[in-house]
Amino acid sequence: MLSQHERQKLIIPGWGGDLTEEEYAYIKAQLRESASLKRKWGFRPTAKRLAENRIRAVAKHGPVSRRKASFRYGSEPANPHAGSKTGLEPRPGAGKL
């Protein structure tokens, strides 16, 4: 049985660590009831599906913003020229006479 103090702390993203089944069930129930809590946990406020692996990851590590997610997990950016000033690189040989 969870104490009142544990219940208050569990809904803080990143505080829960590895969740027991009881803790997971409590967090999921709270997320279903509160749009603002969903937002804090990185879900859309209107989300109906709350994936167990995502709830457990946020409980352990805190929410990850979408922009940081690709960098954090080591994937390459979709645009290979994303780091350039304009986003466009000249063709090889362009501008040469």
Residue 30 counted as domain residue: yes
Residue 97 counted as domain residue: no
How many domains would you assign to the chain? 1
Residue 21 counted as domain residue: yes
Residue 87 counted as domain residue: no
Q: What pLDDT shows up at residue 68?
A: 54
Q: What pLDDT shows up at residue 38?
A: 96
Residue 78 counted as domain residue: no
Summarised one tens digit per residue, pLDDT across range 32-72 is 999 999 999 999 999 999 999 999 999 999 987 644 554 44
Domain extent, residue 37, equals: 4-72
CA dihedral sign of residues 78, 40, 24, 20: positive
pTM comes to: 0.65
The overall average pLDDT reported for the chain is 80
Residue 37 counted as domain residue: yes
**CB contact set of 63 (below 8 Å; sequence gap of 6+):** 13, 14, 40, 41, 42
Residue 77 counted as domain residue: no
Residue 31 counted as domain residue: yes
Q: What pLDDT shows up at residue 5?
A: 93
Q: What pLDDT shows up at residue 70?
A: 45
